[in-house]
Amino acid sequence: MSKQELDRTELMVRIRERRLTQKLAAELLSLSVRQVERLYHRFKESGPAGLVSQKRGRPSNRRLSLETRKRALELVRSRYPDFGPTFANEKLLELHDIEVSVETLRCWMIEDGIWEPRSQRLARVHQPRPRRACFGELVQIDGSDHHWFEDRGDRCVLLVFIDDATGRLNDLRFCLSETTFDYFLSVRAYLQRYGKPVAFYSDKASIFRVNHKEPKGGDGYTQFGRAMIELNIDIICANSAPAKGRVERANKTLQDRLVKELRLKGISSIEAANEFLPEFMESHNRRFARVPRSDHGAHRPLMPYDNLDDVFTWQEQRKVSKSLTIRYKGMFHVLEPSAASRAALGQRVTVFEDDHGSISIRHEGVALPAKAFPRDNPRIEHGAIVENKLLSGALKYIQEKQLERDQARLVSRGLTKREKVRLRKEQNHLDIKESKNPETDPARSENPTFLLGRGPDICTLE
């Protein structure tokens, strides 16, 4: 019996014992008095079983015919055996004029053994992969976006480099967001300390691989991929998070232990945290690092021709116009007339940009001096595409520009006194909030485009 039927049974008992009138029972059940009389009559004749719905166990008057069910299942079994219920339902309606609901078809397919519900499917098994044998054979890299300073500072990212053979933390570095140049800095520090590994193992982020199946231009490599090719280091992208479980589990451990270590040390800024990381890595590796199965070290030394200053730059190709100019990120660069620049006329030159925004132009290894001039009416493009990992830096840059526009409005005569007072209150509130946060990196604040990062799917804010 249902709960409703049990409640009705209790009221019928009270009516029989003359502790309740039929009129009051009708009000409690939201029924008419005549319906309560019918229920009481059935209760006196059959007891509590008389209150059970007479429709229970009987087929619905609106059910589909057995012929319709049989025809639908025969079509699904013969023509759509690997189709899901939703897709199969669409094809039955489009091609065979059989109209049934998706849930009805799902139940039919489950009862007939054609479809297996998700609750009954076996969980996907991710079997553990054995560690690599040699130190430096495979290095897993990832960025962990987390509240590392809790409520003492802004959210930031920790770049993690962990060796697959030993579980050793080879490099840690805090930054505002995952950008190509932040990975360049971490890889450079890694190479200078250990040498070149065989391969880096990462996720499929746009920093590491071009995710478009048919890119409109380029050579098919990201800036990070191009740098690794020049250094003769392979990069492998995992198809799922469990595939690079070593670094994922390290992130989970760091989000627990490192956060508490920073709290005990009273650290609340990226600069102070980066100074503390070597001490933390040494303590962590002493506790958790393992001995590799092979004594052979797979790291290779840097070669004399590995110019890291050039490798870890943003490089793009530009065509020299007839007037010896190129256009790069909203600026015109006018090449100084020379034999080398005239030889590059109509040819493609390479623009090198470092993490501080300094630009050099080269053609076949020869530097071409140039002067930069801004385009007419430069403006900030609205609707710029910013990756989720770079959102913090982008919002900080936008806030700075909004404050500049508010300052310009305060000195204008187009606002009333009340509007200016409101703007000043908002700015004071933002100043108080900013004073509670740790100081940001001066080099980054002076170079807003560095905060946004550079990638194949990011529009640069000018």
| DSSP codes joined into one string, 331-375 | EEEEEPPSHHHHHTTTSEEEEEE-TT--EEEEETTEE--EEEEEP
**What is the pLDDT averaged over residues 284-305?**
93
**pLDDT classification of 243: cutoffs 50, 70, 90:** confident
**What is the pLDDT averaged over residues 53-60?**
78
Q: What is the dihedral of CA 32, 38, 41, 47, to 10 degrees?
A: -90
Helix, coil or strand: residue 207:
coil
Q: Which of 18-32, 380-394, 401-415, 439-453 holds the top average pLDDT? A: 18-32
Exposed, middle or buried by CB within 10 Å (0-12, 13-18, 19+), for 331? Answer: middle
**What is the pLDDT averaged over residues 177-199?**
95
For the chain, the domains span: 3-51, 66-120, 139-288, 313-374, 388-452
Which tokens sit at 208?
A: 């590491």
Give the chain's mean pLDDT: 84
pLDDT for residue 291? 94
CATH code assigned to 139-288: 3.30.420.10
Question: Contact 205/178 with Cβ under 8 angstroms?
Answer: yes
Exposed, middle or buried by CB within 10 Å (0-12, 13-18, 19+), for 138? Answer: buried
pLDDT at position 384 over 80: no
pLDDT for residue 445? 42
**What is the pLDDT averaged over residues 98-117?**
92
**What is the pLDDT averaged over residues 351-365?**
91
pLDDT over 90 percentage in the chain: 52
pLDDT for residue 8? 87
pLDDT for residue 403? 79
pLDDT for residue 418? 75
